Chains A and B, each alone.
Chain A
Amino acid sequence: MPIESWLIYTLGIMLLGSIVALEIRDILSAIIAIGIVGLAVSAAFLFLQAPDLAIVQFLFEIFALVILVRAFIGKKAHADTLSIHKVYAFLVALALVAFFFLFTPVFRSLPPFGEPLLTTSSHYLTHGPQETGAANIVASIVLDYRAYDTMGEVTVLFTAILGALTVLRMSRQTQKGREPK
């Protein structure tokens, strides 16, 4: 079976899973559905010959599921009706479908699937192992050629986690302050 059929199958599962995740009422089912979508992304990365990304996506998906389940299970106060008014939802869906068809010609101008534009990365592929000594070329790009990107990325992760910790700690303090009243 050619790789396109496998990928179309995987993407179909992802589309189905994301629609289920958005429309189902039970919140645990929605989180499980989003987990299925993430694991399908991991499988698609394996089909596309990216084992690095497949491992990272798999592990981060598991961790995101743990965070979401830990945070949201047992809280009953969801919105009574999940969506906005049906007429507006229909109008939004109509606009997005029109958007889809308007942007279809853009994808026709891209290079076809399976023939990438190798210009910079051909240098990485041919000279990377000699210049950095790493067998994993993705690691040599992430941590040597483009280590500056990685530094920015670590900074963003640091800031995001710091923001989360600050918000959560703030809420705990206000709770403690409220209790004596």
Chain B
Amino acid sequence: MILYLMCFALFLVGLYGLLTKRDLIKIILSSAIMGYSTNLFLVLFGYRRDATYAILTPNNSGQAMVDPLPQALVLTSIVIELGITALLVALAIRLYQKYGTFDITKMRSLKG
């Protein structure tokens, strides 16, 4: 259970950064941290004690294997996360060109 709790703490660290930081780069990094903790939590959930990886080789046909379903879900989640990061970076660069800063409290005006 301590592993689950540490994963949750990592998620909360990301949430803290998202709520309190003013720098746009730090906000992007916080969302990345939240994504890591979620992925890791799902894979932790599918681990089976003393089991091998879920790939068949000629040598390990009879052994117990870990749960492959969370791994398949997380595989797609990682890829989407990189797409989201690229989109956020593009938006941050656009905002920087418009306002000349990454500080979100100075991005109040609708017209640059």
Could you list which residues of chain A lie within 8 angstroms of chain B, going by C-beta atoms? Answer: 3-4, 7-8, 11-12, 14-15, 18-19, 21-22, 27, 30-31, 34, 37-38, 41, 44-45, 48-53, 56-57, 60, 63-64, 67-68, 71-72, 75, 77-84, 88-89, 92-93, 96, 99-100, 103-104, 107-108, 110, 112-116, 118, 120-121, 124-125, 128-129, 135-138, 141-142, 146, 149-150, 153, 156-157, 160-161, 163-165, 167-168, 170-171, 175
Contacts and interface: CB of A to CB of B under 8 A. Distances in A.
A107 B4 contact: yes
Which residue, A81, A89, A114, has most C-beta atoms of chain B within 10 A?
A: A114
Interface in B1-38: 1-10, 12-17, 19-23, 25-26, 28-30, 32-33, 36
A158 B49 CA distance: 38
A150 B78 CA distance: 12
Given A18-B10, A60-B78, 9 more contacts: A19-B13, A22-B26, A30-B26, A34-B29, A50-B74, A100-B5, A110-B45, A125-B54, A157-B80
